[in-house]
Structure 1
């Protein structure tokens, strides 16, 4: 009986461990990638989507090749992000419930990077539901304008395709980049990034999204001493990266 009790307690503790799973970075086409991470503790999905800075682009979730544009849902960026629904062959209609939140919108070297967040599941029947326990892969459809334009219109046959993402469990959330800590914060320009997951590169951006500098990290370090002396006082954003994840952290420079 004692062994059974210990086993049950172990299972309960394990089930309580926060976990994340991610597709990693999916290369869709030139200047377009997608990375979807599901967080079991926060019940949130984080989508990092890149596309050309000078035109609209879109990503359909839960949409496989051969679809009739009557299922799945889509995020579209024109001059801002909208949550939309597939409706036949026409432009996707705007969803009455805008469930995606834009965490960041940064343009660098002709590429726009959007970091978006949404609940894994909700009551919106137009949204693709992503329960953590059963979502192990996802079908995607992407599209973008064939020329520089933010007016949503026919993308043309060469500017849309399909992809599939397979989720890999990252394990305990403490091994995710989301759990990285920065200290001291506020800082005088010298600070440490500490994480239980490896980091290969850190990009620094101003509060307005202007790229400041790249900090290269040797040997996928977990404790990184950073010096950004000379920066004006203010709020900056750090994009932490490795081969599977991206995560954003805020640092205040005095």
Structure 2
């Protein structure tokens, strides 16, 4: 079972890295911002929403200037977060709570909410659906009270914004996933070059058997590996440091 698990993990790793894309910080007004990140691996969307800590504020999803207020997805924070929908010109009514509050903090008069939801939800008629492959941008409306108050009222500001999603590359670029193996194919001697620290290398054959372990001195970023007398074929390298693991394939000829 252990060998099967190792091989399955290797196979999935070679299919591609987990994907994510983000809007980056979208400035709504002087004290409100939103940042959406879509994660293809977890099928989750993370929203970091910032607003004033002394009054209610809200965010409309998938909504642009001139929208019809008879329907629409909305989030409102007063004394707590509520998932809502626009209905006519009254205050948005409560909807099924699809967002999970991961954190809620206040600093220098600004509340920061980190929220998470599935990319697509079962109550699709009420929620903006964000399938990873087809979501390239998001239209937003925002609102907040004109005065310090947690009671929703018509005394508020409103505006509109649009965010564009771009692929998240920086984390992968400087992780063990970005490591390179050369020469590959190899005769049994090759180098591993990384963009982060490398502390250990395990070499496995195709059946999951451990062939060799290399302890890397001083967390080097370039390591020479020699595996003498090895049979020709495909092997898998498990790269490790203190915080992550990555798998690479090497061919010996």
Give the aligned partner of residue 19 of structure 2: 19
Cα offsets for 1:161-184 (capped at 9, x unmatched) = 00000001114874599x9xxxxx
Alignment of 1:61-140 (within 5 A): 61-95=61-95, 97-124=96-123, 125-140=125-140
Change (3 A) 1:173 1:88: farther
Answer yes or no: is the 8 Å Cα contact 1:63–1:71 preserved in 2: no
RMSD: 2.4
Query: TM-score when scaled to structure 1?
Result: 0.61
Query: TM-score when scaled to structure 2?
Result: 0.61
Cα offsets for 1:141-179 (capped at 9, x unmatched) = 0000010000111143xx1000000001114874599x9
CA distance in 2 between counterparts of 1:126 and 1:134 reads 19
Answer yes or no: is the 8 Å Cα contact 1:61–1:141 preserved in 2: yes
- Structure number with bigger Rg: 2
Which ranges in structure 2 are unaligned for 5 or more consecutive residues? 1-11, 178-194, 197-253
Change (3 A) 1:82 1:176: farther
Give the aligned partner of residue 161 of structure 2: 163
Answer yes or no: is the 8 Å Cα contact 1:17–1:173 preserved in 2: no
Which ranges in structure 1 are unaligned for 5 or more consecutive residues? 1-11, 180-194, 197-254
CA distance in 1 between counterparts of 2:135 and 2:155 reads 29
Count, aligned residues: 166
CA distance in 2 between counterparts of 1:169 and 1:69 reads 32
Give the aligned partner of residue 240 of structure 1: none
Change (3 A) 1:14 1:134: farther
Cα offsets for 1:80-117 (capped at 9, x unmatched) = 0000001111100000x100000011000000000000
4+ residue stretches of structure 1 with deviation over 2 A? 12-17, 171-177
Answer yes or no: is the 8 Å Cα contact 1:141–1:160 preserved in 2: yes
